[in-house]
A and B are shown apart, each in its own frame.
Chain A
Amino acid sequence: MSAEFQERIEAGIKIEPKDEMPEGYRNTLIRQISQHAHSEIVGQLPEGNWITRAPTLKRKAILLAKVQDEAGHGLYLYAAVETLGVTREQTIQDLLSGKAKYSSIFNYPTLTWADIGAIGWLVDGAAIINQIPICRCSYGPYARAMVRICKEETFHQRQGFEIMLTLARGTPEQKAMAQDALNRWWWPSLMMHGPPDADSKHSAQSMAWKIKLFSNDELRQKFVDQIAPQADFLGLKIPDPDLKWNPERGHYDFGPIDWNEFYSVIQGNGPCNRERLQARIDAHRQGAWVRDAAAAYAAKQRAKARVA
């Protein structure tokens, strides 16, 4: 089946849930899409931290809508995972047990309001760059979920940039707050594109299967090239002394990334790993009675309908 499957991938014919596919392809997708879904869900937590403390009613409404979108993204993606033959319950269990991973960026804390700006601008910005190519990936349900998601992400990045712009044009204290947020979120955002190509163990196969269309380093370069001029516009300084435009390459050069930090956070040693997972476990446990009650009510209604 392998050669035939590869031919189909190369011909650009999408793979759909009931089609035959190699186990490796299925498992890669299950791992990647569920990780992606978990990231959307856990990603609500750092921003949720500021919903009750947003500086104005307008900002609060915007942030609520943004966080609600992330919940939606998680649900589109959980549905896509399910088409591969894993139950929703199992996928959620894998998150709660710590077996499944989510993007390590969400293990950093949101210390000030400016962090909400930095997240929208940088974290959603990096996510958009990672996600746009996935709209064309070989697995139909994943590609379709990603089209919906990408349509909504632009709002996320713009609202973040607008927060940064407002702070950057505000009092010296507000501008300093924006700079501090950029300082803290810059490097973790660069890590969102994944380890360098040389160390990326799944990349080659994923690219052959067209689950991945650009390498991590290509995506990262694209991100830096987009963000650097925007930081200039804001009058903020990216915390990298090596960052500068390279006219020969037509790209920005940037300094080395501390991958030890990345692996350490993935391993569970980030500032908020424990807190994030605990929040999900608590939410799941505290919501149990609602799920049970709704199921009991539905069963009762069905029984009534049968009698009538």
Chain B
Amino acid sequence: MSEWPLWEVFIRSMHGLAHKHVGSLHAPDAEMAIRNARDVYTRRNEGVSIWVVRSSDITASSPGDKEALFEPANSKVYRHPTFYEVPDEVENL
């Protein structure tokens, strides 16, 4: 028998918050993945909503691409409000 597929589990911990990755588990299908996720990851009211997605359906950036992907942002300090000098007398800015 082949192994049950791997699923990534995302949980919304409270209304108003985004789903967050909490871990993974094996299950034969999505429905069972949700049920297992409930037992494995929400035994203490950790969530109000669960997403599961097959791990094989996730495309991830690779660590080798880190520079190409993230370096350009490093030089653009002017995207942060702290880049700008505001005179002390000016308020609400």
Q: Is the CB of B1 within 8 A of A291?
A: yes
A16 and B23 alpha carbons, distance in the complex (Å): 14
Contact of A295 among B1, B25, B41, B60 (CB under 8 A): B1
Which B1-40 residues have a C-beta within 8 angstroms of A?
1-4, 6, 23-26, 28-29, 32, 39-40
Which B74-88 residues have a C-beta within 8 angstroms of A?
none
Contact of A88 among B1, B3, B23, B44 (CB under 8 A): B3
Q: Is the interface of A mostly helix, strand, loop or mixed?
A: helix
Residues in A with CB closer than 8 Å to B24 are 79, 82
Q: How far is the CB of B65 from chain A (nearest CB, A)?
A: 11
A63 and B4 alpha carbons, distance in the complex (Å): 30
Residues in A with CB closer than 8 Å to B92 are none
Residues in B with CB closer than 8 Å to A19 are 63
Q: Is the CB of A76 within 8 A of B60?
A: no
Residues in B with CB closer than 8 Å to A72 are 39-41, 43
Give the interface residue-count category, chain A: 20 to 34
Contact of B25 among A69, A75, A152, A297 (CB under 8 A): A75
Q: How far is the CB of B19 from chain A (nearest CB, A)?
A: 16
Q: Is the CB of B3 within 8 A of A294?
A: no
Give the interface residue-count category, chain B: 20 to 34
Residues in B with CB closer than 8 Å to A76 are 23, 40
Q: Is the CB of B1 within 8 A of A145?
A: no
Given contacts A76-B23, A88-B3, contact A297 B28 (CB under 8 A): yes
Residues in A with CB closer than 8 Å to B56 are none
Q: How far is the CB of A22 from chain B (nearest CB, A)?
A: 15
Which A249-308 residues have a C-beta within 8 angstroms of B?
288, 291-292, 294-295, 297-298, 301-302
Given contacts A18-B60, A18-B63, contact A298 B29 (CB under 8 A): yes
Q: How far is the CB of A64 from chain B (nearest CB, A)?
A: 11
A82 and B3 alpha carbons, distance in the complex (Å): 13
**CB-nearest residue of chain B to A293:** B28
Given contacts A82-B6, A145-B23, A297-B28, contact A69 B1 (CB under 8 A): no
Whether B45 sits at the interface, judged by CB under 8 Å, is no
Given contacts A16-B63, A19-B63, A301-B29, contact A295 B23 (CB under 8 A): no
Candidate in B3, B39, B62 with the most chain A CB atoms within 10 angstroms: B3
A47 and B63 alpha carbons, distance in the complex (Å): 43
Q: Is the CB of A295 within 8 A of B32?
A: no
Q: Is the CB of B43 within 8 A of A68?
A: yes
List the interface of chain A (C-beta within 8 A of B). 16, 18-20, 65, 68-69, 72, 75-76, 79, 82, 87-89, 144-145, 148, 152, 288, 291-292, 294-295, 297-298, 301-302
List the interface of chain B (C-beta within 8 A of A). 1-4, 6, 23-26, 28-29, 32, 39-41, 43-44, 60, 62-63
* Known A148-B23, A291-B1; further 9 A-B contacts with Cβ < 8 A: A68-B43, A72-B41, A75-B40, A76-B40, A89-B3, A152-B44, A288-B1, A294-B4, A295-B4
Cross-chain pairs A/B with CB under 8 angstroms, 24 sampled: A16-B63, A18-B60, A18-B62, A19-B63, A72-B40, A75-B25, A82-B6, A82-B24, A88-B3, A89-B3, A148-B23, A152-B44, A291-B4, A292-B1, A294-B29, A294-B32, A295-B2, A297-B28, A297-B29, A298-B28, A298-B29, A298-B32, A301-B29, A302-B29
